Amino acid sequence: MPDHTLYTLLMTVVEAVATLAFALSGLLEAARKRLDAVGVCVVAGLTAFGGGTLRDVLLDRRPFFWVEHASWLWALLGLCIAAMFVLRARHFRPTERAMQWPDALGLGLFSASGTQLALAQGLPAIVAVLMGVVTAAFGGVLRDIVVNEIPRAFKDRQPYAVCAFAGGWAVVGAQAAGLSDSLSLLVGAAVGSGLRAAAMLSGLRLPGWSAGVEPPG
């Protein structure tokens, strides 16, 4: 199988797996906020497609990836409807814990694919890496904004966007080393997802702002 064909197939699988992982995280948040059926579908859709859509807008890339694969919209609707019948409050915590791992996988996959798409347009490496971060992290940011929360990626001090940033640079390095697009994608995804998994297992936290107490008067 030519590398281009393999790469196209790999990209489709990557985006499908990552989209499913992010859709589930959005669905859980919508359920926790007790949104109605429309709210559940919108929040899950924003989480799943928001980062990739923002990337496509910034890169002037058409059609949007979810328009090109419209069957994913049906899958999302089916997932939301099924969850509303099956998911109960007692399932939230164990489901959220289980979803950390697919979410870590989605982070690495989306950061790598977003970076590669930007590199393919001849953009500078730093811009391409930031497109990967946007793809991986901004679906969750939009999710939290819609449910009236400070985005988790900005406040919980768990390395998330940082892991996506590292995964993007791994893609840049792999392509500079002459690896094929398919292998570069796998390397970047492995680095981003691996760092996220390591951070979860170790409990690593990023430093927070500590400005101290304002002096009186």
Q: Is the pLDDT of residue 77 over 60?
A: yes
> Which is higher by pLDDT, 140 or 124?
124
By the 8 A CB rule, do 176 and 95 touch?
Answer: no
pLDDT the model gives residue 159? 84
Q: Which residue has the tokens 């992982």?
A: 21
- What is the rounded CA–CA span in Å between residue 150 and residue 130? 21
Sign (positive or negative) of CA dihedral 138, 139, 145, 149: negative
- What is the rounded CA–CA span in Å between residue 69 and residue 40? 21
pLDDT the model gives residue 131? 94
pLDDT the model gives residue 153? 75
Name the least confident of 8-17, 83-92, 142-151.
Answer: 83-92
pLDDT the model gives residue 190? 92
Most confident region among 17-21, 22-26, 137-141 by mean pLDDT: 137-141
Q: Is the pLDDT of residue 59 over 80?
A: yes
Burial label for 158, CB within 10 Å (0-12, 13-18, 19+), is: middle
pTM of the model: 0.80
174, amino acid identity: A
Q: Is the pLDDT of residue 215 over 60?
A: no
**Residue 1 pLDDT class (50, 70, 90 cuts):** very low
Q: Is the pLDDT of residue 187 over 90?
A: yes
Instruction: Please give the average per-residue pLDDT across 63-67, as a whole number.
Output: 83
Got the DSSP string for the chain? Answer: --HHHHHHHHHHHHHHHHHHHHHHHHHHHHHHTT--HHHHHHHHHHHHHHHHHHHHHHTT-SS-HHHHTTHHHHHHHHHHHHHHHH--HHHHHHHHHHHHHHHHHHHHHHHHHHHHHHHHTT--HHHHHHHHHHHHHHHHHHHHHHTT---HHHHS--SSHHHHHHHHHHHHHHHHTT--HHHHHHHHHHHHHHHHHHHHHHT---------PPPP-
Tens digits of residue pLDDT in 98-124: 567 777 888 888 899 899 999 999 999
The token pair at 152 is 């988790």
Q: Considering the chain, what percentage of its residues have pLDDT values greater than 90?
A: 23
Give the contacts of 175 (CB within 8 A, at least 6 positions apart).
116, 119, 181, 184
Most confident region among 77-81, 99-103, 176-180 by mean pLDDT: 176-180
